[in-house]
Structure formats: structure tokens, C-alpha cells
Amino acid sequence: MGTDLIWVFLLLSSTLVLIVLVDVPFQLWDHSRKQKMTLQEVKDEQKEAEGNPEMKSKVRQTQREISQRRMMQAVPDADVVVTNPTHYAVALKYDQLSMGAPIVVALGVDEVAGHIRRIAVANDVPILSAPPLARALYHNSELDTEIPAGLFLAVAQVLAYVYQLQRYELNGGLAPEFSADSPIPDDLKRDD
């Protein structure tokens, strides 16, 4: 009878070990599966983390409008607006005493460019048609930053003409001439 009890005990223990060997991996797998989020839960969490897309869109639109308003307010203080007559306009400002290089105070294409030109005309800011330079400035410059070093010579020629034009308007004499063929490095040229 003692050995029967031992066999029963061994049989029960081996059965329990077998159940544990099957049940533990199943419980781990089941727990892991339950911890995973559904696709909808992932989307909802992402939306919460990033914010509502519609709200973000409205905020970005408001930021663009504020930036554009601020940009347009800077146009009357510009020294010159360089244009590709119909598509591009870039307003530049330069102060020899406080700036290392001219800065872009406004830039735009199509409708925005037209608005920049209208503000320039209303505030007697000189407008110069130099299509290659206007395209190069638009595509290679950022608002409120210095112009690219490769465009220094071309912009210097534009500013020299503007300053000569201002002296001519004050003192008379020989009217200055401007050539739109400014030296623009190949890596900064744009033909669009």
C-alpha cells in the first residue's frame, strides 16, 4: 500500500508538472495579447498625444496669417523689393551700421508677391525687376535672415543702384541705370 501511494503521488505530480508546462506559456501569451492595444486605441492615443488634427490645422493657419501680417508690416521699411514681374517678390533691408548683410524682410510668390508689390508702391519702396535674382532670393532665402553669401554681389549691385536712385531724386543730375544681369552662382540659380 505504501508503494501505491508513492505511485499515485508521482502520477499526480507529473500530471501537475505537465499542466504547468502547458499552462504557463499559455498564460504568458494570453497576458501579452490582452496588454496590446487595438488599432482604434492606438489611433486614439496618437490623436491625444499629437492633438486634434483639425485644431492643429487651425493653429497652423493662424500662425501663417500672423506671420504674413508681420511680414507685410515690414515691407514699408524695406530698402528695395526685387521682383520677377509677375510671380516673385523679395523685400530686402540693409543697414550698414547694424547688419552684416542684407536681410529678407518679406518674400512671396503669386498673390503674396502682388501684395508685397502693392505695399511697396504705396510706401514708395523702390521695386526692381531682376527675375533671376528674385527667383534665387526666393528659393534660397528665409524670412528675417541674411541673404545667402553667393548672392552678396548681385544684391550689392541692386542696393548700389537704389542708393544712386535716391541721390538722383534728391539732387538731380544723371539718372542711374540698372542692369538686371546680376552675377548669380549656378548653384543658386532657379529657372522656374
pLDDT digits (tens, 9 = 90+) for 19-59: 888 888 888 888 887 787 778 877 877 777 676 777 777 88
Q: Which of 64, 84, 86, 77 is nearest to 139 (CA)?
A: 84
β-strand pairing of 127-129 with 80-84: parallel
Q: Which of 98, 99, 103 is nearest to 90 (CA)?
A: 103
156 versus 178: which is more confidently predicted? 156
**% of the chain at pLDDT higher than 70:** 91
- 164 class by beta-carbon count within 10 Å (0-12 exposed, 13-18 middle, 19+ buried): middle
pLDDT tens per residue, range 87-137: 898 999 988 888 888 898 888 888 888 888 898 889 988 888 888 888 888
- Asked if residues 90 and 131 have their Cβ atoms less than 8 Å apart, the reply is no
pLDDT at 91: 92
Q: Show the DSSP H helices in 36-122 as ranges.
A: 39-50, 53-74, 111-122
Cell readout for 144 is: 528675417
Residue with cell 518674400: 107
How far apart (Å, rounded) are the C-alpha atoms in residues 72 and 111?
13
Could you say which DSSP state residue 146 is in?
Answer: B
